[in-house]
Structure 1
């Protein structure tokens, strides 16, 4: 199971998604299902079958978001974090070949559609936690150990 932490921004985004699904998308889809059902034979009605399936997917996502939002703990920036890598940090790293990366360590529910976010549960994030600038982090990968150096740490304040 994933760590039940989330940033303030991530929490707001999930609440916004839940609100959209419940107040806009679900009522619209319900109207379409009702309209398609009124046309008669449901077994051969593509509009009815598609929208009924969509309604089930919406309901599944709404249930997930409600439960997840209830269980999660919002982690906000604290000045004591400054200078070390903790949850919510933007981290700049570099390897021996000079390859650089920049990403933010966030909760599992925040990483989708973002190439610059990594989960707190990932091997990279675990290797970087509590480290400081110029510290070395050894990351376990399927190809073996990889060494990265931390070149910068920033927090959203």
Structure 2
């Protein structure tokens, strides 16, 4: 068969594109909070121990029914298995590279580090609350921003009461840090 008609993909490239996750910057570590690490590990175990075996059962059953070319259970099941396997590879790689950083060691500090929850005000007088987390934990709608985000980089190492400069494509903004907090040690 002519190679032009065969769909081939480079698995390494597919894994890094999983779930739209941003790549880890070259030479940087994959910092994660203990909570984020726990959630990723739980997802990985759920995929391995529950979802994948269930889909394998369905695919096996569907394959035993005969003609696979028009067997929706078989076709969908095989596709779902590829998705699960890709996600398992992605999670395994990210967890292998993870460096868990416990932000509670900074409890009581007024300086911004990884894991801090920061309340700041911009020049327009708008107040924002963000928590600086790992790349795989970001959730901007809930105020969780990655440590590589421009806002996080501008805030890092500043203290309560400091004003930092944030350069954006829209221009320069001044952010005044109102409060810095960390989770209490367990």
What is the aligned partner in structure 2 of residue 147 from structure 1?
A: 174
Cα distance in 2 between the residues matched to 1:151 and 1:74: 27
Question: What's the TM-score once normalised by structure 2's chain length?
Answer: 0.79
What is the aligned partner in structure 1 of residue 72 from structure 2?
A: 46
Establish whether residue 64 from structure 1 lines up as the match of residue 85 from structure 2: no
Cα distance in 1 between the residues matched to 2:135 and 2:183: 18
Matches within 5 A, 1:88-107: 88-107=115-134
How much has 1:79 moved relative to structure 2? 3.7
Between Structure 1 and Structure 2, how many residues are aligned? 157
Task: Tell me which protein shows more strand as a share of its residues.
Answer: 1
Poorly superposed stretches of 4+, deviation over 2 Å: 112-115
How much has 1:115 moved relative to structure 2? 2.6
Question: What's the TM-score once normalised by structure 1's chain length?
Answer: 0.93
Cα distance in 2 between the residues matched to 1:86 and 1:39: 58
Establish whether residue 85 from structure 1 lines up as the match of residue 112 from structure 2: yes
Structure 1 unaligned residues grouped into runs of 5+: none
What is the aligned partner in structure 2 of residue 124 from structure 1?
A: 151
Cα distance in 2 between the residues matched to 1:54 and 1:72: 27
Q: Which moved more, 1:41-50 or 1:17-26?
A: 41-50
